[in-house]
Amino acid sequence: MYDEAQAAATAYELLRVVGRTPDDLLDRVAVMTAAINDAPTDDLDIEDEVFPPERVRNYEDATLARGHRMYRLMAQHRETGELAGQTIVAVEAERPTIGHQHDTSVTRGHRGNRLGLLLKTGMLRWLHEAEPQLETVDTWNAESNDHMIAVNEQLGYQVLGRGLQFQRSL
């Protein structure tokens, strides 16, 4: 699957970041992170979130403060240098056999290049090297996110349960 995705995404290179994003990438990571606003939210009425660099940094610091090791894999367009997508996994220090999938997203202008599959397979390969004790990675999706559900199923993820979200206007 990785090779298939890589063959479709030859215009991109993968960048790895462990822990905090380097300062020289932070502004571009913040812009790219807003792509998560396009993820389906089903019937919830949710406004688009804003991701200034300090919010990205606060998220990273909070994740690390919980004792998690954070891995961010990004796709960068070779010609323009634009960050096109990312996936993030945090591995628990106290239970290092468990990883938690955080965001996976691809910016609008770069969709259709198999980057979601490239990022997720690339992350699993990286984690196999960096965290050989890792046994499971938990992930979740909105039920209507057919594209990412298909990627997860292709990678062998199995549904363990379903959750409900409730919203009330105030």
Q: State both tokens at 66.
A: 């919980």
* pLDDT for residue 41: 65
Give the whole-angstrom CA distance, residue 52 versus residue 31.
8
Q: Quick check: helix, strand or coil at residue 138?
A: strand
Query: Which range, 33-37, 118-122, 147-151, is most confident?
Result: 118-122
Kindly give the interhelix angle for 53-65 and 23-33, rounded to the nearest 10 degrees.
Answer: 100
Handedness of CA 128, 79, 54, 139 (dihedral sign): negative
Rounded to 10 degrees, the C-alpha dihedral 57/62/64/67 comes to 180
pLDDT in tens, 86-108: 999 999 999 999 999 999 999 99
Picking from 25, 36, 125, the residue whose alpha carbon sits closest to that of residue 83 is: 25
* 28 or 169, higher pLDDT: 28
Q: State both tokens at 65.
A: 């403060």
Handedness of CA 124, 125, 131, 134 (dihedral sign): positive
What's the mean per-residue pLDDT of the chain?
92
User: Does position 140 have pLDDT exceeding 90, yes or no?
Assistant: no
pLDDT in tens, 27-60: 999 999 988 767 766 667 778 788 899 999 999 9
User: Does position 149 have pLDDT exceeding 70, yes or no?
Assistant: yes
User: Does position 17 have pLDDT exceeding 70, yes or no?
Assistant: yes
Average pLDDT (140-163) is 84
* pLDDT for residue 47: 82
Q: Which long-range contacts (CB under 8 A, 24 or more apart) does 163-170 make?
A: 165/42, 165/44, 167/44, 167/45, 169/45
Name all domains of the chain by residue range, CATH numbers in brackets.
2-154 (3.40.630.30)
